[in-house]
Amino acid sequence: MDLILKYFTNLTDDQISKFQKLEALYQDWNLKINVVSRKDIDELYLRHVLHSLGIAKVVEFKDGSKILDVGTGGGFPGIPLAILFPNCSFHLVDSIAKKLKVVDEVVEGLGLTNVKTTHSRVEEINDTFDFIVSRAVAFMPTFTHWVKGKIAKEQKNALKNGILYLKGGDLTEELQDYKTVTIYNLSDFYTEDFYETKKVVHLPLKFKRLV
Q: Count CB atoms within 10 A of the CB of residue 209.
A: 7
Distance between CA atoms of residues 11 and 15, nearest Å: 6
The reply to whether 38 sits in an annotated binding site is no
Is the distance from CB of 98 to CB of 66 less than 8 angstroms? no
3-state secondary structure at position 162: strand
Is there a binding annotation on residue 123?
yes
Query: What is the C-alpha separation between 94 and 211, in angstroms, rounded?
Result: 25
Task: Please tell me whether 47 is known to bind a ligand.
Answer: no
Annotation-wise, does 122 bind a ligand? yes
Do residues 137 and 94 make contact, with C-beta atoms less than 8 angstroms apart? no
Question: Strand 89-94 and strand 115-119: pairing?
Answer: parallel
The Cα–Cα gap between 31 and 8 comes to: 29
- Establish whether 78 is an annotated binding residue: no
User: Where is the binding site, in residues?
Assistant: 71, 76, 122-123, 135
Instruction: Give binding residues for S-adenosyl-L-methionine as ranges.
Output: 71, 76, 122-123, 135
